[in-house]
């Protein structure tokens, strides 16, 4: 395959923090610890007996000093935690790489978390997960800023996490919706604790070449690497390049990441298609050989079997190859 795809973007590990279901209470605030006062003593017996005077009352104890955060709710969450009701109208903000504790604490509880993609470059890959789940099952759904479901996942075994990844656009807001996923025979309404984490990997090859008008200059004999993803929602999931050619034979080669079937086309300076090729093998190469006149020609990189709507996502938090590896375009004459 001779692919030299650059493993540029790293996958941020989803780091789940352990959930402390029962945090020991460290404060004794408001508890009295004073000793009892001494009791009344009777007067001496004798003639003309008078009643004895009572003893003085005991002093009250000092209040206990304040301790750490108190456990929250039926799952005994500790900070940082979701802020109920965190429903659709009041989502809890989730910071990148931070882990929050959460709890599906009653029948029908739903938790919303809000994430905002950094306003840098075209966008990148989001991974969201529910981990450290209690003896229960969690369903997670990633929603658009208008609450359209984009991708979802649910555990099929108690105590197993759930997660999704998605190609996100820079500056956009998304929501993660969590709910309990119950088997038909399961009627327990015991609280369901889980941790929620959001990670993000910027995907930016600096090409900004989603359209022919934005074609990036490349040179004969100098391979160029790029990502299929470039942020905006478009039918052009790939990119455009332009190259100055001499009259004669030219060979253009595209080597794809491991989960892409490559497709490649070359166009004259007047945008007439001079040749194209595709390969039905994932991670394969597309090669066009043709004769050209002198002048600036255009090259279009595509995926032969494109993803549904060019806005890709899936279950789990492992990013697919085309979000971590680049394709390579090589022009030779």
Residue whose structure tokens are 């840098």: 120
Nearer CB in complex with Ca ion: 179/330: 179
Least Å distance, CB 200 to Ca ion, is: 23
CA distance 77 to 101: 6
Residue nearest to Ca ion (CB): 111
The 60-99 site mask, x for binding Ca ion (CB under 5 A), equals -------------------------xx-------------
Among residue numbers 93 through 112, which ones bind Ca ion (CB under 5 A)?
103, 109, 111
Q: Which two tokens stand for residue 324?
A: 């971590």
Among residue numbers 288 through 307, which ones bind Ca ion (CB under 5 A)?
none
Nearer CB in complex with Ca ion: 42/108: 108
**SS3 track for 11-75:** CCCCCCCCCCCCCCCCCCCCCCCCCCCCCCCCCCCCCCCCCCCCCCCCCCCCCCCCCCCCCECCC
CA distance 94 to 278: 42
CA distance 175 to 216: 34
Among residue numbers 104 through 163, which ones bind Ca ion (CB under 5 A)?
109, 111
Nearer CB in complex with Ca ion: 103/329: 103
Nearer CB in complex with Ca ion: 139/326: 139
- Total residues contacting Ca ion by CB under 5 A comes to 5
Nearer CB in complex with Ca ion: 103/130: 103
Least Å distance, CB 103 to Ca ion, is: 5
Write out the DSSP string of 203-249: ---S---SSGGGPEEE-TT--EEE-S--SS--S--SEEEEEEE-SEE
Binding site for Ca ion (CB under 5 A): 85-86, 103, 109, 111
């Amino acid at each position: 395959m001779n692919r030299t795809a650059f493993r540029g973007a790293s996958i941020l590990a989803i780091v789940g923090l352990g959930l402390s279901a029962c945090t020991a209470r460290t404060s004794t605030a408001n508890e009295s610890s004073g000793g009892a006062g001494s009791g009344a003593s009777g007067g001496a017996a004798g003639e003309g007996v008078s009643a004895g005077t009572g003893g003085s009352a005991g002093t009250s104890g000092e209040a206990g000093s304040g301790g750490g955060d108190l456990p929250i709710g039926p799952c005994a969450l500790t900070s940082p935690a979701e802020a109920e009701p965190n429903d659709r109208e009041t989502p809890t903000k989730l910071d990148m790489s931070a882990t929050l504790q959460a709890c599906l604490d009653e029948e029908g509880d739903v938790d919303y978390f809000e994430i905002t993609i950094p306003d840098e470059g075209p966008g990148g890959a989001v991974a969201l997960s529910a981990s450290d789940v209690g003896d229960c099952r969690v369903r997670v759904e990633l929603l658009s800023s208008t609450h359209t479901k984009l991708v979802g996942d649910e555990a099929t075994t108690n105590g197993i996490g759930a997660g999704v990844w998605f190609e996100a656009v820079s500056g956009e807001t998304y929501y993660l919706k969590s709910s309990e996923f119950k088997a038909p025979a399961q009627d327990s309404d015991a609280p369901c604790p889980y941790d929620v984490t959001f990670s993000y990997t910027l995907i930016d090859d600096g090409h900004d070449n989603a359209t022919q008008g934005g074609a990036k200059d490349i040179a004969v004999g100098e391979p160029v690497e790029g990502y299929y993803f470039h942020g905006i929602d478009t039918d052009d999931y790939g990119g455009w390049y332009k190259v100055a050619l001499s009259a004669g034979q030219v060979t253009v080669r595209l080597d794809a990441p491991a989960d892409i079937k490559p497709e490649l086309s070359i166009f004259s300076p007047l945008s007439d298609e001079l040749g194209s090729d595709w390969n039905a093998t994932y991670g394969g190469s597309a090669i066009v050989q043709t004769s050209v006149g002198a002048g600036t020609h255009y090259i279009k990189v595509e995926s032969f079997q494109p993803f549904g709507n060019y806005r890709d996502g899936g279950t789990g938090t492992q990013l697919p190859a085309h979000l971590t590896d680049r394709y390579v375009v090589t022009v030779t004459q």
